[in-house]
Amino acid sequence: MEFNVEMKYVLDTMWLLVTGMLVMWMAAGFAMLESGLTQAKNTVTILTKNITVYAFACIMYWVIGYNLMYGEGNAVFGLGLGMSGITNSDHSVLSDFFFQVVFVATAASIVSGAVAERMKYWSFVVFTLVLTALIYPIQGHWTWGGTALGGLLSGFTDFAGSTIVHSVGGWAALAGVLLLGARKGKYPEGGGVRPIPGSNLPLATLGTFVLWLGWFGFNGGSQLALGSKGDVDAVALVIVNTNMAASAGAVAAVIMTQLLYRRIDLSMVLNGALSGLVAITAGPNYSSVGVAGLIGAIGGVLVVFAVPMFDKLKIDDPVGALSVHLMNGIWGTLAVGIFNPEVSFFTLLVGVVVIGVFVFATSFVTWFVIKKAMGLRVSEQEELEGLDRHEFGMEAYPEFRPGFEVG
């Protein structure tokens, strides 16, 4: 089939822009999911975190992040500011930037759920600035930026970012949670775990569906092209596989919670679907639909075990971000090595470890510095009364609002 070169450019550019918009939409999904799974008294805080994290990520990545990741420089990082010096002949550079920036925002928002309900807003923002300006772009330079860190990561492949986006968010979150500590009362003195139920399961479910839809852009757009039969066939497979993995992850969670707890747990089913999505993100383009389902199902099983595991370790994660994004980011990446004969499992393992160590270490140092400089945690009274009143002076669900308030 012949194809006009300009038409290819147009279609490729358009695809990046449209799928980029779908990934942006995932920010709404995160906001609904996180606010649904946390307490009403902290809702304004988590919503503000979600919308500003997206906004800060977009700005910092434009200022320096995109250049660090894709600029000409050395094997470790690229140079330049404000997108200068970056060109692209396959599609519009701006569409490339747009598609990439929404991925950064996704990685950053993973952190907000794990540290919810007890972290100071500004401490979180400062970390986000560092993550989106420096940490994420630098590790991205070694993979999607093409340098393979001077050969150390050659052969490493991650189609849409199980490692590069999701586990990066997960490692950054883990470092933060370890320095932050658990919510008061979550792990009582005598042992055991005290559940702190989410305030709005309809919102959490809506959030999951929104993320599911957005993921068609997240994975579908990562083909980075639409303007050929080969590309569009690949995109179709990617989207079907993405959907299948999510479905399998959800069903796996249904079955596992039914078996383990004799009750299906909606919050686990939601996490299960998301786990399937994270797990397929590393390789939705090569596997058969059946294998995609298998990968997603295993992700759903993993998350059902991961959540109580983190609780046993007294690592408090209100929304399951570590179980979904960190654990399945790793699983999804390694699954490619298991199911794709053209990719070496060992190469992937090296990549997981190198990126993991880098992100965890730099995140830990960043959180540590923030902790020393301004503190991470709100006071005990604030935590008990709810962050919304103290951090923002605003409630998400104000009731009994008399009409005659003193103005």
Partner 1 sequence: MKKIEAIIKPHVLDKVRTVLNQAGVEGMTIYEVRGYGRQKGRSELYRGAEYTVDYLPKLKLETVVPDELEDKVIEVIAEAADSGKIGDGKIFTYEVGKAMRIRTRETGSAAI
**Contact present, 296 and 249 (Cβ < 8 Å):** yes
Q: Does 197 bind partner 1 (CB under 8 A)?
A: no
DSSP state of 285: T
Quick one: which segment of 47-55, 61-69, 81-89, 397-405 binds partner 1 (CB under 8 A)? 397-405
Q: How far apart are CA 55 and CA 65, in angstroms?
A: 14
Cβ distance to partner 1 smaller for residue 341 or 400: 400
Cβ distance to partner 1 smaller for residue 1 or 406: 406
Quick one: which segment of 139-147, 201-209, 333-341, 391-399 binds partner 1 (CB under 8 A)? 391-399
Cβ distance to partner 1 smaller for residue 233 or 385: 385
Q: Does 6 bind partner 1 (CB under 8 A)?
A: no
Quick one: which segment of 12-20, 103-111, 275-283, 394-402 binds partner 1 (CB under 8 A)? 394-402
Cβ distance to partner 1 smaller for residue 185 or 308: 185
Question: What is the maximal distance between C-alpha atoms in the chain?
Answer: 72
Nearest to 281, CA basis, from 311, 325, 320: 325
Looking up tokens 């999911």, which residue turns up?
33
Q: Does 51 bind partner 1 (CB under 8 A)?
A: no
Q: Does 190 bind partner 1 (CB under 8 A)?
A: no
Cβ distance to partner 1 smaller for residue 342 or 405: 405
Q: What is the DSSP string of 215-278?
A: HHHHHHGGG---SSHHHHHHHHHHHHHHHHHHHHHHHHHHHHHHHHHSS--HHHHHHHHHHHHH
Which residue from 82, 146, 150, 185 is in contact with partner 1, where contact means CB under 8 A? 185
Radius of gyration of the chain, Cα coordinates, nearest whole angstrom: 21
List b or e across 355-379, with b for residues whose CB sees 16 or more CB atoms inside 10 angstroms.
bbebbbebbbebbeebeeeeebbbe
Binding mask 360-389 for partner 1 (x = CB under 8 A): ---------------------x--xx----
Interacting residue ranges for partner 1, rule: CB under 8 A: 185, 381, 384-385, 393-394, 399-400, 402, 405-407
